[in-house]
A and B are shown apart, each in its own frame.
Chain A
Amino acid sequence: MPASVKLRIAGLKKSFGDKLVLDGIDLEVEAGSLLVVIGGSGSGKSVLLKCILGLIEPDAGTIEIDGRDILALPPEQRAVERGKIGMLFQNGALFDSLPVWENVTFGLLAQDRVKRAEAPALAAEFLKQVGLAETVGELSPAELSGGMQKRVALARAIAARPEMLFFDEPTTGLDPIMGAVIDGLIIDCVKRLGSTAVAITHDMASARRIGDAAAMINRGKIIWRGPASALMDSGNAMVDQFTHGRREGPIQMELRK
């Protein structure tokens, strides 16, 4: 019996002004699996995630979670659904007016799942998981390095143990060892908590480590789908060029014209 589909996207379109960014995206993510999305800079990967989160209103298409079309839900219901998705934003998006510990436990505090007095201690545990010392909790985000901010943002995204997790370039800006640690953490979340995840990445090593399935997006369309293990020898000219980082190939040809 095939695994159930947690997230199904069909015909998703979005333009900003006359710039077409998403041009009919079709995607499925199986429950409990991790889909890696690759694609060139500016190809619309972040916009795709924001559409699913309801932060950007798509022009056309459907987004189903557990078989329910979330675009058709009333706003309050959508806010509830959004609360079930953890998101690591590309630039971290930490609240710079709050200390790190409050950032990490923000979602839990908002849902009354932890008392304010107990939050710093709980935050320290999450920080330890992402390789940060307890003392970091008292700092403000502006006092952290870029990589540390990323890890705090990751801790914040997974703190509420959401049903679904989106990672927008989780390992960019981290050293290779920390990148591997974060990959392990992501795998752990997905496998142990049973979350379903979508990760955008430019890091092929990481993509093969964490991904079950993979998809490549180019010019607003999904041009390839397959198992993440097949990324490096997909047989698709565009994917090959991308994953091997070749300057010559079909993608550059498209840019030239």
Chain B
Amino acid sequence: MNALLDRIARLGRIVIAVLHSVGEVTLFGMAGVSHIFRPPFYGRAFGTAMMNIGFFSLPVVALTAVFTGMVLALQSFTGFSRFSAEGAIANVVVLSVTRELGPVLAGLIVAGRVGAAMAAEIGTMRVTDQIDALSTLSTDPMKYLVAPRLLAGTLSLPLLVVVADILGVMGGYLIAALKLGFNSTTYIARTLDFVQLDDVLSGLAKAAVFGFLIALMGCYQGYNSRGGAQGVGNATTSAVVAASILILAFDYVLTEMFFAR
């Protein structure tokens, strides 16, 4: 009887701890968002964040997109030729890239690249008292550090995904036209014919959410890191893991919202 109660108590504590963290992250996110809309605005910090998240992630996102498109074309060819449905490759590529793979892969890669860097930077500022120093210099750290990053994350990931979409489709086209012997005019025509604004926009909306989540986890983990270099290391890992899991979970939720009718 006692053992059972113990176990229930332990389970309860875990549930409470999880809810507690979710609540804390939510409050942190809401505070950060509210600072986006209230002056003073830090344009310089926002610009730097846009460069770091958007511009410097371009090469790696671009490479991922091209190869993903190529693999997609190759895989669907081997699969579809069994049903003599090779003609659908163009449709499959454009649909998967714009709806799913563009935003999710770009999100995961940016989470690893930028989420980690954000957590490390803000975490170092925390453990070396730089965040405290900001508040003694008439600067709200939530406004100066967190708000610009949240905004930049939300805006720059969709831009990256536009690039990823184009390059992903192009990767598929390269394989189809050069290796699988498709007529390139027909392939392009089919792609353009099939691509829908809704699909692209839903992908971009997902990307905006993912970008926000990446920045949120990076900032939250960094802001709350404790205990020197090791604490910053832990914060970095947590930021990437949490952002990746959230991206996949929200991907499901958003897909339900957009397409389950």
Chain A residues proximal to chain B, CB less than 8 Å: 50, 53-55, 79, 82-83, 85-87, 89-91, 93-97, 106-107, 110-111, 156, 160
Nearest neighbor of B136 in chain A, beta-carbon distance: A87
B135 CB-CB contact with A under 8 Å? yes
Cα of A87 to Cα of B130 in the assembled complex, Å:
12
Separation in Å of the A256 CB from the closest CB of chain B?
28
- Do B136 and A95 touch across chains, with their CB atoms under 8 A apart? no
Cα of A83 to Cα of B140 in the assembled complex, Å:
11
B137 CB-CB contact with A under 8 Å? yes
Cα of A55 to Cα of B125 in the assembled complex, Å:
14
Cα of A93 to Cα of B135 in the assembled complex, Å:
12
Nearest neighbor of B137 in chain A, beta-carbon distance: A107
Cα of A200 to Cα of B220 in the assembled complex, Å:
32
- Do A83 and B138 touch across chains, with their CB atoms under 8 A apart? yes
Residues of B close to A86: CB separation below 8 A: 136
Nearest neighbor of B133 in chain A, beta-carbon distance: A93
Could you mark each residue 174-192 of chain B with 1 if its beta carbon is under 8 Å from any beta carbon of chain A, else 0? 0000000000000000000
Separation in Å of the B245 CB from the closest CB of chain A?
29
B34 CB-CB contact with A under 8 Å? no
A95 with B140, Cβ < 8 A, contacts A55-B135, A79-B135, A82-B135 known: no
- Do B133 and A95 touch across chains, with their CB atoms under 8 A apart? yes
Cα of A205 to Cα of B213 in the assembled complex, Å:
53
B256 CB-CB contact with A under 8 Å? no
- Do A87 and B133 touch across chains, with their CB atoms under 8 A apart? yes
Could you mark each residue 126-148 of chain B with 1 if its beta carbon is under 8 Å from any beta carbon of chain A, else 0? 00111011111111100000000
Nearest neighbor of B130 in chain A, beta-carbon distance: A93
- Do B137 and A106 touch across chains, with their CB atoms under 8 A apart? yes
From B125, B133, B135, residue with most partner A Cβ within 10 Å: B133
Nearest neighbor of A56 in chain B, beta-carbon distance: B132
Residues of A close to B130: CB separation below 8 A: 93-96
- Do B138 and A93 touch across chains, with their CB atoms under 8 A apart? no
- Do A110 and B132 touch across chains, with their CB atoms under 8 A apart? no
Other contacts beyond A87-B136, A91-B129, A93-B133: 11, CB < 8 A = A54-B135, A82-B135, A83-B138, A89-B129, A89-B132, A94-B130, A95-B130, A97-B121, A107-B136, A111-B138, A160-B137
- Do B132 and A53 touch across chains, with their CB atoms under 8 A apart? yes
A-B contact pairs, 8 of them (CB 8 A): A79-B138, A82-B136, A83-B137, A87-B136, A89-B129, A89-B133, A93-B132, A95-B125
Residues of B close to A90: CB separation below 8 A: 129
Cα of A87 to Cα of B128 in the assembled complex, Å:
14
- Do B135 and A110 touch across chains, with their CB atoms under 8 A apart? no
Separation in Å of the A150 CB from the closest CB of chain B?
13
- Do A106 and B132 touch across chains, with their CB atoms under 8 A apart? no
Separation in Å of the B129 CB from the closest CB of chain A?
4
Residues of A close to B134: CB separation below 8 A: 95
Residues of A close to B140: CB separation below 8 A: 79
* Shortest 3 CB-CB contacts between residues of A and residues of B: A93-B129, A107-B137, A83-B138
Cα of A115 to Cα of B247 in the assembled complex, Å:
42
Cα of A79 to Cα of B124 in the assembled complex, Å:
23
Residues of B close to A82: CB separation below 8 A: 135-136, 138
Separation in Å of the B63 CB from the closest CB of chain A?
28
Separation in Å of the A157 CB from the closest CB of chain B?
8
Separation in Å of the B117 CB from the closest CB of chain A?
12
